[in-house]
Structure 1
Amino acid sequence: MSQPTAGGDPAPATMRAVVVTRPGGLDALEIKDVPVPVRKPGWVRIRVKAFGVNESEVTTRKGESDAVVTYPRIPGIEGVGVIDQADEEGGLRPGQQVATMMGGMGRSYDGAYAQYVSVPAAQVIPFETGLPWDVVGALPEMFQTAYGSLTTGLDLKPGQTLLIRGGTSTVGLSAATLAKDLGATVLSTTRSRRRAGELRTAGVDHPLVDNGTIADQVRELMPEGVDAALELVGCSVLADTLRTVRRHGTVCFTGALAGQWTIPDFTPFMIPGGVRLTSYGGQAAGRLNVPVAKVYHGLEQVRDAQADVESGTTPGKHVVVLDD
């Protein structure tokens, strides 16, 4: 049984959404009037207030996602807003502030680049805050992915050393913030020497310029190797990342910013003896600094947001706010 929309007013029959009509460039992102999603039993319909724009949505738009995506598709792997409809017995209620992320959003079913989104109740996180939506919208995906990678993927402990490969990505910056808060020593990479200062601002102890191979640089700083490494660049550099880790250390594969998700002719013997390789794919999961790069207002600015994410020139989270 569905509860009425918060405030007693029914949701409109149609909504505005950004739709990827086909794999392609920024022109493949089109604003359309589409039906408001019909909530299924066990799902929650959310009126979207803000959403983050992520590298994975750029790959979805390009048709390069590792997940199965059919088109047309409304992208968006995360969002925050207020509940519009929910099952009475589920403990969630209309008007409640919530966040949602991952779980196939924007890939196997329509995501948050829209005025409304419908998602399984199990991946909805209620919260109460007076923070503005642009700040709240920066939190879900990047922090849960970073946190899950450091805990589930790496079991990082206070006092350990951590390498982040792909450090100026939103997840990389979040991981650095969380790891420093935990008490770790952090090494982090950037492909541009001029961005090393941005890593230091995020708390990184040892910024490294990545020219494709960094194992020797890491071993100069940590001769025995780091305790843990977070791989965000992808399979094209994974073998090199594995060489940065000490015996009985761990590498967690979380992302593929360079676009390569598989290794041709993979053999387990490429993993150095005694080094552990794990992965983290993201699950629904202060005093931490939220690295917001830029705030965009309205669906009309989604193309600009994706262009900025794709260019990689502005570190931090890119957030779109849907103004009432």
Structure 2
Amino acid sequence: MTPTPQVMKAIVVEAFGPPSNLVIKDVPKPTPQPGFVLIRIKAFGLNHAEIHMRRGEWAESMPIIGIECVGIVEDCPGGEYPIKTCVAALMGGLGRTINGSYAQYTVAPVGNVVPLSNSEEVLPLPWEQLAVFPESYATAWTCLFRNLEVQEGQNLLIRGSTSALGRAAANLASSCGVSVVATTRAPERHPELLDMGARTVEKEGPGLPERLRLPDESKFDAVLDLVGNSTLLESLTLVRRGGRLCLAGWLGGLEPIRDFNPLLQMASGVHFSFFGSPIFGSNAFPVSDVPLHDVVQMVANGKFQAKPSKVFRFDEIQEAHRVMEGGESNGKIVILGY
């Protein structure tokens, strides 16, 4: 007798379009192949990339989207992780080339999985809090300490600081002795950013360079631009000679830069780089390079706070996407597992 295929609940993109197209369905439970880990998902964070996937605006996406999660190892054919290990998983094709985390289970490449605890009984933080870390903190850490190479005592500007990635960057940088200047479009969020360690906060928008003068009239050692193409050329003018600019987000939209002429618009002596988290898991950017476990322990030990801005149930995914798309998230939105 042929065994009955196992099924699971998953949130499926029925057709590209609005949040109402995210529908919960019964689908086959995935089976891990060697080199992959089967994870029972306990919680997952939402990301702006998933809005674009849901709309059909991303180059690649699967019917089950979702680029990160935290959960428990249920099967690992290669034996890299013992059963019941608590892990975080991010990227590695999740939601893009393999079905992602909007489900009860997912399979992630071994190289894109990070252990957090040996068992659920000794978790460093609750699941909904652990779900804040994988994509946002791994990306923030890499932007800060690999692309920008920030150091204690330097001045860092973070544009788009109230996003989940911006908050992660502000937390990490300030905890390492970097002087952070943050920007946001929402003045009511200034106190939150100051509490996270920002030295000062400015309103994101026209006239920003004139409002960002440092005490000695110098420029910034580093700029992390999460607003994107609409502010990139301006950000180049805010970096000192020998300083660094990293582009890592598109909160201002995906519209490309028109008529960019490096001869006239590129700042001399400024190092400009880009970081996109889909590269995680490659030989150049292994997830093991990111001390995610140590970052979680920093929060568990009270060095800084990292909590979800909003937590939704699995069956509230449509409302969660509406909140994120409407710019109401004010940080990381987390979905509890089914």
What's the TM-score once normalised by structure 2's chain length?
0.86
- 1:275 match: 270
Which one-letter code corresponds to 2:276 in the other structure?
Answer: G
Q: Secondary structure at the match of 1:196?
A: helix
How far is the alpha carbon of 1:277 from its aligned partner? 0.2
Which one-letter code corresponds to 2:316 in the other structure?
Answer: Q
Map 1:1-324; keep pairs closer than 5 Å. Answer: 13-65=6-58, 68-70=59-61, 73-88=63-78, 90-128=79-117, 129-130=122-123, 131-219=125-213, 223-260=217-254, 262-269=256-263, 270-282=265-277, 283=280, 284=287, 285=290, 286=298, 287-297=303-313, 299-322=314-337
Alpha-carbon distance between aligned partners in 2 of 1:249 and 1:196, rounded to the nearest angstrom: 26
Residue 232 of structure 1 contacts residue 255 of structure 1 at CA under 8 Å; is this kept in 2?
A: yes
Aligned pairs, number: 309
Q: Secondary structure at the match of 1:292?
A: coil
Which one-letter code corresponds to 1:38 in the other structure?
Answer: T
Q: Secondary structure at the match of 1:171?
A: helix
Which one-letter code corresponds to 2:66 in the other structure?
Answer: G
How far is the alpha carbon of 1:116 from its aligned partner? 0.5
How far is the alpha carbon of 1:93 from its aligned partner? 1.9
Alpha-carbon distance between aligned partners in 1 of 2:216 and 2:77, rounded to the nearest angstrom: 53
Q: Secondary structure at the match of 2:43?
A: strand
Alpha-carbon distance between aligned partners in 2 of 1:43 and 1:319, rounded to the nearest angstrom: 24
Which one-letter code corresponds to 2:110 in the other structure?
Answer: A
Q: Return 5+ residue gaps in structure 1 as ranges.
A: 1-9
Alpha carbon RMSD of aligned pairs, Å? 1.9
Residue 32 of structure 2 contacts residue 77 of structure 2 at CA under 8 Å; is this kept in 1?
A: no
How far is the alpha carbon of 1:46 from its aligned partner? 0.8
Which one-letter code corresponds to 1:119 in the other structure?
Answer: A
Q: Secondary structure at the match of 1:33?
A: strand
Structure 1 residues 12, 318: closer, same or farther in 2, change over 3 A? farther
Q: Return 5+ residue gaps in structure 2 as ranges.
A: 281-286, 291-297
Structure 1 residues 309, 92: closer, same or farther in 2, change over 3 A? same
